[in-house]
Structure 1
Amino acid sequence: MYRLFFNLAGRKPVAVGKTRYIYEHPDNPDWLIKVHRSMIPHQNIGIFKTWYARMEDRFVYMTGYLRELAVYLDSRYGAPDGIIKHIAPIGGLVDTDLGIGLVVSAVRDRSGKLAPTLGQLINNGQIDEQRYQKLMLFLDIILTSKLVLGDLNLENVVLEQLEDGTEEFVLIDGLGERTFIPIQIFSKRIRHKRKLKFVQRVMDRLKAAKVIPLEQQPGF
């Protein structure tokens, strides 16, 4: 029986999220591997608190993979959603010495480094007029998408830079509902409200950073 298995324990993660570690794929630089980051405390915190921490950790572990895969599959079902090209492709699941890993596309800049996040671009004054217009289009696509995007933030959006000079904003995480009760799945109004809140947060950051052309900001 053929089994694909990767050793990651001795490697340094290229990024650390709230719930997962991200590693370079050992065999292919075009991919990354996300593995669960345990939320269970090492110190003794009592029987009940330990039990609760384990339950919470298992919930995050299970939903972390399932919600992302479910929304990714949903984006390919029926009429193609316009946001498809703005979601980093998922390659599947693999076994690692750190547990199950989710294989995702490595979105990079022209130099081959991991692509800068939207937060980094705004903080470093790297949103010019052309990128501003691309960002506005990206935000509009998010608002009109039917998909559930439960964890939208400025670090989950990156700017892919191809060798031919093409740039696109890409969502690298945040697919699916993170809450125990998946209200966004059942309520289009709440789903839109959450997305609108993220868009407004982006616009507020752009305004605070004095990004041009502010006088042309759209009324989302």
Structure 2
Amino acid sequence: MIKIDDLELLGKGGHKHVYQHPSYANRVIKVMIRKRATESGARADQSALRANQQQGIYRQYRRELIQYLQLCKNDYKDCNFMFPVEAVHGFEPTDQGLGLTTEKIISPTGKPLTVDRMVRDGLFDEKARVAFNRFFDDCCDYHVVFGEVNTGGIMYTESRQDRPEFVLVDGIGEKVIIPFRSMSKTINSRNIRKVEDKLKRQLKKLDDSISF
């Protein structure tokens, strides 16, 4: 069992923390925040009916895993495992609950870098602009289903496929009961474009000089 206190904390979210994997430099472990769960593993911040639906506190893991499997299924012929979302490697037992092990996305500096941080730090240049636009195009082409996507969950790298690219690491997978976006690529692409417009407006507020 992995002891979380022995790991390097890489990031904090509203529902989970992200740590460096102790054995693999190119992987991270996501762990749900314990105070967000009840003793039975249900979501502490939801009604009793919703909190115990399906996998409870691990429902986010389920959405991401199903989405990654679906993408791999769709590209089965080409044996492609690389998409605009982080790759899922499996699960790890930790002393703070089950951990989800995923691909680590790093910037050219060797550190994680989100698109909003790039804009704040004045790093959003022409190659980043091209990569950001391509990210949404690729999400439409691959039929990537968004959950709740924000600028803090989209990370920049140049080493993953030897080119500048953005990768979604949070907000992955269908959240609604009737999965319209999963069933229809057209409906899903329409939603992706709406999210694209929203996020670009948010980034423009951080730096009005950037263009897309």
Q: TM-score, normalised by structure 2?
A: 0.79
Counterpart of 1:96 in structure 2: which amino acid? T
User: Which of 38, 59, 63 is the aligned partner of 1:63?
Assistant: 59
Work out whether 1:149 is the aligned partner of 2:143: no
- CA 146–85 in structure 1, closer or farther in 2 if over 3 Å, else same: closer
Q: Distance in 2 between matches of 1:172 and 1:140?
A: 17
More moved, 85-94 vs 182-191: 182-191
How far 1:76 sits from its partner (Å)?
A: 0.7
Counterpart of 1:149 in structure 2: which amino acid? F
User: Which of 120, 123, 132 is the aligned partner of 1:126?
Assistant: 123
Q: Where do residues 9-24 of structure 1 align in structure 2 (5 Å cutoff)?
A: 9=5, 11=7, 13-24=9-20
Q: TM-score, normalised by structure 1?
A: 0.76
Work out whether 1:202 is the aligned partner of 2:199: yes
SS where residue 110 of structure 2 aligns?
A: coil
Aligned-residue RMSD, C-alpha: 3.2
Counterpart of 2:75 in structure 1: which amino acid? A
The answer for the alignment partner of 2:41 in structure 1 is: none
Q: Distance in 1 between matches of 2:161 and 2:62?
A: 35
Counterpart of 2:97 in structure 1: which amino acid? G
Work out whether 1:96 is the aligned partner of 2:75: no
Task: Provide structure 1 residue ranges, at least 5 long, that are not aligned to the other structure.
Answer: 42-48
SS where residue 127 of structure 1 aligns?
A: coil
How far 1:143 sits from its partner (Å)?
A: 2.8
Structure with larger Rg: 1
- CA 108–196 in structure 1, closer or farther in 2 if over 3 Å, else same: same
How far 1:16 sits from its partner (Å)?
A: 1.2
- CA 37–182 in structure 1, closer or farther in 2 if over 3 Å, else same: farther
Counterpart of 1:88 in structure 2: which amino acid? E
